[in-house]
């Protein structure tokens, strides 16, 4: 046995890409800390309003935290607590998404959803669900007969006694959407710093001086959209604890595309106190999703899955849609949502310290992000920012990778297919590694292209990807 | 506007041993236009990724490495006048038959009198096994490992664990050796290897410890794998430090085109429903190779391709019995992983050398009964292992009694 055969320590494999030093950077108007969907949307809104914004993300890419794993639904907010900040943000976010979606080339599929009651206790809550939806302004929510529900989704199992139809619930692309927000922000002068972790910061009465892993940054305002680490960042910057993140993990099963035919509607359980419960929903990529679980845990980073829970999810899924038994599972994942002790979002500006905290954005962040961003801009810039988006703004479009529109493989000169399961072309891979927001990690590449996310999970394309990504990823596929 | 559809007599999806074996036979039988559609950059199928022997004995009476074998197959096909189109992915199959394909230049359509699906099999990845733990890089199937090592000369890890002892697990060992990757251990849940017993010598020879009765239960690591948790025997859980995991085998049919199209797929077996001629539920479509029996050696796939090609020739000549008059073979035994074929088209001619091929999902000892209208007509004692196939010969006069139901049952012996 020779020494050269031993593997080098892991740290040598993964070296963060170097970035220009930030010390020479000028004072910016707003420093947004945390590149999840909320950070991207806030950066966009502020940049559109003319502010000079820097988005600092401690990981290699956006969407590496809570925004990484969700159920990819655009919610109407029908079941949000009435008059809450959350409900307002979802309603605003929903409205704006419909306005801008096609201009950013973002797909949307209006599938509608059904809430089903499977026992006596759940059935007793149905009237309240309809009433709450109407109170939230989602007026088209109505109870439908169980026959009508079954006609909509013939694959449903037996045993549910009442059903509510929510026509407005829709599917979106959970990764291209925030990516498009940030692209538009960059087109309007925003800057994105990856591998930029905020250590400490001080407000001197005029500006923030923030020490980061990339040097010092200065900003007039600081926005904390650090998601799962929002409470820690708040503590570092402001000193006093304000809320505490209680990480809640949700595991999901992704079924093969063949299972997509089982339902074209989102199937929701009757909501519980802490969670929406286990959802069965088609995805915009043509799969079928079952999840999430709701598991409170200490760790903010541990998105591990476990066999027992996944098996339980499988049987819950099969009890709702028995036909799932005949389909195979393509993927599994877990997301962590930043729940807090409080019920509502924590959205509060400290105008004396020019600090805005956006905390506790749990499972509805994707739907609410644009609404949150509007409120954030209003708190920072005043009412001028709330004016509707002017015509002069730029609309960069992101590649369309969902099944809802034309894919690159349908177009000429695409370079050929690299990932056969998801029909990802060589041109799509190459493009995802270039541009102002290139993929720097395999997960970033997956989110931008869907490569390796199909039924074979990289059986065929790993080698090709390894070659195509050489020199592009912090943590290369091949050693 | 898209270009006019390409016309051919037989379109074959997949240029592996089954597809090329069939294509050559079809051409040699006088079929004019045989087009093979291959999504990869070169023909040859999985053997092309598999840079070690033994391949090619039944076909060429030589022991070859995978790529040499793949090249010979391709040359034989070229010589026979087969039209091989590489970098051509079939994205949808439609009645007609019509195939929607995409190439680097863009989409195209292919019309054929008959279609042979020979898309092979793939291994069950980590996700579908519902394995616990984090999801770091460095968790691969053998197929992914081989294409990295042999086609791109890259190493996904240096010290992985290898799971399973199917034949392909030993292929994973050889692939590691080729790339100077030194597996930490080879793990087998059961007390005996899945492949033949003598196979335990290979890891020993290569200095890799083989751990029986050891089940991988979780993966650890952030960016890359840092270790795995294994359960030994009943209760003891241990950690093995490693930087990768190879999930070997548990092959399933690559039947996506059938699943997503109009062809019936057996929901339990995951393979397309075929009759004794390899005909699918749409009788202009045929299936052959590892897609029908995941997964066998390339030699068997090649042979299967040839047999199915002969049936296609008969089909083109209008000589096959009607597919509308078929009897399904029922089998609801959990120990049976699959049965081929899953239905028999009633054939007035005597069935010559016809047999059912049965594969088991676990070790089993007992008797297989083929019952016609609930009374056994064939019984066969078997000692089955997961990777072993059992052939149940069909009586020549099986159709003379006008059977309505055929049922395959397994009676375990103590």
Please give the residue of chain B at the shortest CA–CA distance from A329.
Answer: B128
Same domain, A450 and A326: no
Residue A49, domain extent:
18-69+175-242+344-387
Nearest to B137 among A310, A423, A442 (CB): A442
> pLDDT tens-digit profile of B295-347?
899 999 999 999 999 999 999 999 999 998 899 999 888 889 999 999 999 88
Residue A138 lies in a domain: yes
Contacts of A409 in chain B (CB under 8 A): 89, 91, 102, 107
Please give the residue of chain B at the shortest CA–CA distance from A331.
Answer: B127
The answer to whether residue A257 neighbours chain B at the CB level (below 8 Å) is yes
> pLDDT tens-digit profile of B32-44?
999 999 999 999 9
A5 pLDDT tier (thresholds 50, 70, 90):
very low
Contact B173, B143 (CB under 8 A): no
A273 pLDDT tier (thresholds 50, 70, 90):
low
Q: Residue A76 has what pLDDT?
A: 97
Q: For chain A, positions 33-92, list CB contacts with chain B under 8 A.
A: none
Contacts of B108 in chain A (CB under 8 A): none
Contact A168, A94 (CB under 8 A): yes
Nearest to A459 among B39, B103, B122 (CB): B122
Q: Write out the two tokens for B39.
A: 């999504």
Same domain, A233 and A182: yes
Tell me what percent of the residues of chain A surpass a pLDDT of 90.
82
Pick the last residue of a domain from A387, A421, A450. A387
Q: Is the CB of A328 less than 8 angstroms away from the CB of B144?
A: no
Calculate ∠ Cα B289-B291-B292, nearest 5°. Answer: 75
Average pLDDT, chain B: 92
Q: Average the pLDDT over A48-77 and give the result.
A: 94
Q: Residue A274 has what pLDDT?
A: 57
Contacts of B127 in chain A (CB under 8 A): 254, 329-332, 457
Chain centre distance of CA A460: 28
Contact B175, B150 (CB under 8 A): yes
Contact A324, A278 (CB under 8 A): no
Distance in angstroms (rounded) separating the CA atoms of residues A56 and A40: 10
The answer to whether residue B102 neighbours chain A at the CB level (below 8 Å) is yes
Judged by DSSP in three states, A96 sits in: helix
pLDDT for B29 beyond 90: yes
Q: In 3D, which of B131, B124, B126, B34 has the Cα closest to residue B84?
A: B34
Output the CA torsion sign for A41, A46, A50, A52: negative
Please give the residue of chain B at the shortest CA–CA distance from A411.
Answer: B106
Q: In 3D, which of B101, B92, B120 has the Cα closest to residue B35?
A: B101
Q: Is the CB of A478 less than 8 angstroms away from the CB of B148?
A: yes
Q: Residue A151 has what pLDDT?
A: 96
Same domain, A257 and A366: no
Residue A51 lies in a domain: yes
Number of domains within chain A: 3
Q: Residue A388 has what pLDDT?
A: 52
The answer to whether residue B3 neighbours chain A at the CB level (below 8 Å) is no
Contacts of A464 in chain B (CB under 8 A): 147, 152
What is the residue whose two structure tokens read 């999930």?
B247
Q: Is the CB of B105 less than 8 angstroms away from the CB of A5?
A: no
Report the b/e string of B273-310 with b at 16+ CB within 10 A.
Answer: bbbbbbbbbbbbbbbbbbbbbbbbbbbbbbbbbbebbe
Distance in angstroms (rounded) separating the CA atoms of residues B405 and A360: 61
Q: Is the CB of B140 less than 8 angstroms away from the CB of A416?
A: no
Contacts of B155 in chain A (CB under 8 A): 478-479
Query: A269 pairs with which residues across the strands?
Result: A116
**Residue of A338 and A13 predicted with greater confidence:** A338
Q: In 3D, which of B203, B193, B247, B241 has the Cα closest to residue B221?
A: B241
Judged by DSSP in three states, A73 sits in: strand
Contact A192, A437 (CB under 8 A): yes
Cβ of A388: how many Cβ atoms within 10 Å? 7
Ramachandran sector of residue A470 (left: φ over 0; alpha: ψ -120 to 50; beta: rest): beta
Same domain, A162 and A271: yes
Query: How many beta-carbon pairs below 8 A join chains A and B?
Result: 164
A385 pLDDT tier (thresholds 50, 70, 90):
low
A389 pLDDT tier (thresholds 50, 70, 90):
low
> pLDDT tens-digit profile of A296-308?
999 999 999 999 9
Query: B89 pairs with which residues across the strands?
Result: B102
Q: Which of B49-53, B65-69, B148-152, B399-403 has the lowest mean pLDDT?
A: B399-403
Residue A52 lies in a domain: yes
The answer to whether residue A303 neighbours chain B at the CB level (below 8 Å) is yes
Contacts of A332 in chain B (CB under 8 A): 127, 130
Residue A415 lies in a domain: yes
Output the CA torsion sign for B264, B265, B268, B271: positive
The answer to whether residue A382 neighbours chain B at the CB level (below 8 Å) is no
The answer to whether residue B100 neighbours chain A at the CB level (below 8 Å) is no
Please give the residue of chain A at the shortest CA–CA distance from B124.
Answer: A456
Q: Residue B1 has what pLDDT?
A: 43
Q: Is the CB of A479 less than 8 angstroms away from the CB of B89?
A: no
Contacts of B130 in chain A (CB under 8 A): 305, 307, 310-311, 314, 329, 332
Please give the residue of chain B at the shortest CA–CA distance from A474.
Answer: B223
Same domain, A322 and A358: no
H or E element: which one contains A315? helix A307-320
Distance in angstroms (rounded) separating the CA atoms of residues A342 and A362: 11
Interface mutation target, options A259, A315, A459, chain B, most CBs of B under 10 Å:
A459
The answer to whether residue B314 neighbours chain A at the CB level (below 8 Å) is no
Quote the DSSP letter at residue A305. B
Distance in angstroms (rounded) separating the CA atoms of residues A359 and A466: 38
Same domain, A216 and A282: no
The answer to whether residue A420 neighbours chain B at the CB level (below 8 Å) is yes
Chain centre distance of CA B92: 20
Residue A78 lies in a domain: no
Tell me what percent of the residues of chain B surpass a pLDDT of 70.
99
> pLDDT tens-digit profile of B226-277?
999 999 988 799 999 999 999 999 999 999 999 999 999 998 899 999 999 9
Pick the last residue of a domain from A387, A417, A447. A387
Residue A32 lies in a domain: yes
Q: In 3D, which of B144, B139, B106 has the Cα closest to residue B123?
A: B144
The CATH number linked to A280 is 3.30.9.10
Q: Is the CB of B158 less than 8 angstroms away from the CB of A413?
A: no
Q: In 3D, which of B311, B323, B344, B296 has the Cα closest to residue B22?
A: B311
pLDDT for A17 beyond 60: no
**Residue of B352 and B7 predicted with greater confidence:** B7
Q: For chain A, positions 436-475, list CB contacts with chain B under 8 A.
A: 442, 455-460, 462-464, 466-467, 475
HEC profile of A335-369: EEEEEECCCCCEEEEECCCCEEEEECCCCCHHHHH
Instruction: Give Cα separations from B160 to B177, B181, B226, B230 (angstroms).
Output: 12, 8, 10, 14
Distance in angstroms (rounded) separating the CA atoms of residues B92 and B105: 17
Q: Residue A277 has what pLDDT?
A: 83
Q: In 3D, which of B342, B357, B329 has the Cα closest to residue B270?
A: B342
Q: Residue B196 has what pLDDT?
A: 73
Same domain, A252 and A328: yes
Query: B6 pairs with which residues across the strands?
Result: B110
pLDDT for A2 beyond 50: no
pLDDT for A4 beyond 70: no
A12 pLDDT tier (thresholds 50, 70, 90):
very low
Report the b/e string of B199-213 with b at 16+ CB within 10 A.
Answer: bbebbeeeebebbee
Report the b/e string of A32-63 with b at 16+ CB within 10 A.
Answer: bbbbbbbbbbbbbbbbbbebbbbbbbbbbbbb
Q: Is the CB of A307 less than 8 angstroms away from the CB of B104?
A: no
Distance in angstroms (rounded) separating the CA atoms of residues A140 and B121: 47
Residue A106 lies in a domain: no
Please give the residue of chain A at the shortest CA–CA distance from B100.
Answer: A410
Q: Residue B372 has what pLDDT?
A: 86
Distance in angstroms (rounded) separating the CA atoms of residues B87 and B104: 7
Distance in angstroms (rounded) separating the CA atoms of residues A181 and A48: 10
Contacts of A7 in chain B (CB under 8 A): 157-159, 243
Contacts for A322 with CB less than 8 Å, ≥ 6 apart? A155, A157
Q: Is the CB of B130 less than 8 angstroms away from the CB of A463?
A: no
> pLDDT tens-digit profile of A166-214?
999 999 999 999 999 999 999 999 999 999 999 999 999 999 999 999 9
HEC profile of chain B: CCCCCEEEEEEEECCCHHHHHHHHHHHHCCCCCEEEECCCCCCCCHHHHCCCCCECHHHHCCCECHHHHHHHHHHHHHHCCCEEECCCEEEEEECCCEEEEEECCEEEEEEEEEEEECCCEECCCCHHHCCEECCCECEEEHHHHHHHHHHCCCCCCCCEEEECCCHHHHHHHHHHHHCCCCCCEEECCCCCCCCCHHHHHHHHHCCCEEECCEEEEEEECCCECCEEEEEECCCEEEEEECCEEEECCCCEECCHHHHHCCCCECCCCCCECCCCCCECCCCCEEECHHHCCCCCCHHHHHHHHHHHHHHHHHHHCCCCCCCCCEEEEECCCCCEEEEECCEEECCCCCCCCCEEEEEECCCEEEEEEEEECCEEEEEEEEEECCCCEEEEECCCCCCCCCCCCEEEEEEECC
Q: In 3D, which of A17, A65, A19 has the Cα closest to residue A40?
A: A65
Same domain, A57 and A156: no
Nearest to B105 among A6, A331, A412 (CB): A412
> pLDDT tens-digit profile of A394-451?
999 899 999 999 999 999 999 999 999 999 999 999 999 998 999 999 999 999 999 9
The answer to whether residue A322 neighbours chain B at the CB level (below 8 Å) is no
Pick the last residue of a domain from A340, A357, A377. A340
Q: Average the pLDDT over A238-265 and give the result.
A: 93
Same domain, A148 and A278: yes
Contact B210, B200 (CB under 8 A): yes
Residue A76 lies in a domain: no
Contact A336, A363 (CB under 8 A): no
Calculate ∠ Cα A323-A324-A327, nearest 5°. Answer: 110
Same domain, A326 and A284: yes
Same domain, A180 and A62: yes
pLDDT for A21 beyond 60: no
pLDDT for B199 beyond 90: no
Same domain, A234 and A372: yes
Q: Average the pLDDT over B8-29 and give the result.
A: 98
Please give the residue of chain B at the shortest CA–CA distance from A470.
Answer: B154
Q: Residue A128 has what pLDDT?
A: 96
> pLDDT tens-digit profile of A209-229?
999 999 999 999 999 999 999
Interface mutation target, options A13, A288, A416, chain B, most CBs of B under 10 Å:
A416
The CATH number linked to A374 is 3.50.50.60
pTM, two decimals, is: 0.92
> pLDDT tens-digit profile of A158-170?
999 999 999 999 9
Q: Do β-strands A198-203 and A208-212 pair in parallel, antiparallel, or remain unpaired? A: antiparallel
Please give, rounded to a whole number of angstroms, the shortest distance from the CA of B211 to a CA of chain A: 21
Please give the residue of chain B at the shortest CA–CA distance from A311.
Answer: B130
Nearest to A258 among B130, B143, B260 (CB): B260
pLDDT for A13 beyond 50: no
């Amino acid at each position: 046995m020779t020494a050269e055969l031993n593997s080098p320590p892991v740290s040598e494999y993964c070296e963060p890409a170097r970035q220009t030093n930030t010390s020479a950077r000028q004072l910016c108007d707003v420093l947004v800390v945390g590149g999840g969907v909320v950070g991207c949307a806030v950066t966009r809104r502020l940049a559109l309003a003319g502010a000079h914004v820097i988005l600092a993300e401690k990981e290699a890419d956006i969407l590496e935290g809570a925004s990484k794993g969700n159920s990819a639904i655009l919610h109407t907010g029908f079941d949000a607590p009435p008059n809450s900040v959350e409900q307002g943000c979802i309603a605003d976010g929903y409205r704006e998404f419909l306005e801008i979606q096609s201009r950013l080339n973002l797909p949307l599929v209006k599938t509608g959803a059904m809430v089903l009651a499977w026992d006596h206790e759940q059935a007793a809550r149905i009237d309240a669900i309809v009433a709450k939806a109407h109170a939230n302004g989602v007026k088209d929510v109505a109870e439908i007969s169980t026959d009508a529900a079954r006609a909509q989704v013939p694959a449903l199992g037996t045993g549910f006694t009442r059903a509510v139809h929510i026509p407005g619930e829709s599917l979106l692309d959970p990764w291209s959407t925030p990516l498009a927000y940030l692209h538009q922000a960059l087109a309007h002068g925003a800057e994105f710093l990856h591998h930029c972790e905020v250590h400490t910061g001080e407000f001197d009465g005029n500006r923030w001086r923030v020490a980061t892993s990339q040097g010092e940054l200065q900003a007039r305002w600081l926005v904390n959209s650090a998601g799962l680490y929002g409470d820690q960042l708040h503590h570092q910057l402001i000193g006093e604890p304000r809320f505490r993140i209680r990480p809640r993990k949700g595991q999901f099963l992704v079924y093969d595309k063949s299972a997509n035919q089982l339902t074209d509607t989102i199937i929701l359980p009757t909501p519980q106190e802490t969670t929406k419960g286990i959802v069965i929903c088609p995805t915009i990529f043509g799969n079928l999703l079952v999840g999430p679980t709701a598991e409170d845990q200490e760790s903010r980073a541990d998105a591990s899955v476990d066999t027992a829970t996944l098996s339980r999810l499988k049987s819950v899924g099969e009890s709702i849609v028995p036909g799932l038994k005949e389909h195979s599972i393509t993927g599994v994942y877990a997301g962590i949502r930043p729940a807090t002790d409080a019920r509502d979002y924590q959205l509060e500006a400290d105008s004396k310290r020019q600090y805005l905290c956006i905390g506790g954005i749990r499972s509805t962040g994707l739907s609410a992000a644009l609404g949150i961003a509007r409120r954030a801009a209003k708190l920072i810039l005043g009412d001028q920012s709330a004016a509707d988006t002017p015509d002069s703004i730029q609309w960069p479009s992101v590649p369309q990778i969902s099944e809802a529109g034309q894919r690159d493989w349908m177009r000429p000169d695409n370079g050929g297919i690299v990932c056969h399961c998801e029909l990802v072309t060589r041109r799509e891979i190459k493009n995802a590694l270039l541009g102002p927001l290139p993929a720097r990690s395999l997960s970033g590449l997956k989110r931008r292209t869907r490569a390796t996310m199909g039924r074979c999970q990289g059986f065929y394309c790993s080698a090709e990807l390894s070659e195509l990504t050489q020199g592009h990823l912090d943590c290369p596929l091949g050693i | 506007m898209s270009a006019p559809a390409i016309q051919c007599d037989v379109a074959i999806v997949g240029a592996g041993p089954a597809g090329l074996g069939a294509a050559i036979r079809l051409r040699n039988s006088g079929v004019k236009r045989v087009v093979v559609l291959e999504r990869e950059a070169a023909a040859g199928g999985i053997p092309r990724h598999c840079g070690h022997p033994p391949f090619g004995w039944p076909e060429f009476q030589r022991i070859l490495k995978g790529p040499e074998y793949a090249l010979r197959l391709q040359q034989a096909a070229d010589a026979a006048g087969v039209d091989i189109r590489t970098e051509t992915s079939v994205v949808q199959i439609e009645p007609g038959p019509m195939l929607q394909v995409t190439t680097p230049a863009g989409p195209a359509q292919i019309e054929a009198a008959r279609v042979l699906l020979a898309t092979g099999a793939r291994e069950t990845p980590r996700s579908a096994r519902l394995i616990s733990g984090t999801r770091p890089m460095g968790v691969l199937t053998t197929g992914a490992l081989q294409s990295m090592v042999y086609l791109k000369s890259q190493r996904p890890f240096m010290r992985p664990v290898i799971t399973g002892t199917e034949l392909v697990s030993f292929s994973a060992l050889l692939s590691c050796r080729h790339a100077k990757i030194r597996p930490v251990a080879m793990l087998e849940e059961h007390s005996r290897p899945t492949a033949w017993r003598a196979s335990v010598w290979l890891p020993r020879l290569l200095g890799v410890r083989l751990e029986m009765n050891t089940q991988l239960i979780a993966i650890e690591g952030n960016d890359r794998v840092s270790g795995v948790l294994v359960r030994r025997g009943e209760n003891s859980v241990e950690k093995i430090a490693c930087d990768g995991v190879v999930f070997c085998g548990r092959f399933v049919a690559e039947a996506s085109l059938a699943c997503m199209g109009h062809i019936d797929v057996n929901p339990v077996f995951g393979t397309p429903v075929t009759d004794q001629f390899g005909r699918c539920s749409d009788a202009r479509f045929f299936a052959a190779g590892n897609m029908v029996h995941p997964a066998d050696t390339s030699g068997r796939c090649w042979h299967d391709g040839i047999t199915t090609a002969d049936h296609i020739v008969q089909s083109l000549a209008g000589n096959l019995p009607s597919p509308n008059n078929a009897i399904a073979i029922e089998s609801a035994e959990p120990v049976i992983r699959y049965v081929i074929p899953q239905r028999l088209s009633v054939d007035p001619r005597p069935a010559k050398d016809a047999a059912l091929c049965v594969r088991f999902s676990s070790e089993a000892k007992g008797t297989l009964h083929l019952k016609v209208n609930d009374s056994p007509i064939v019984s066969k004692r078997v000692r089955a292992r997961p990777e072993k196939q059992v052939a149940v010969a069909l009586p020549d006069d099986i159709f003379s009694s006008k059977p309505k139901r055929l049922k395959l049952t397994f009676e375990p012996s103590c």
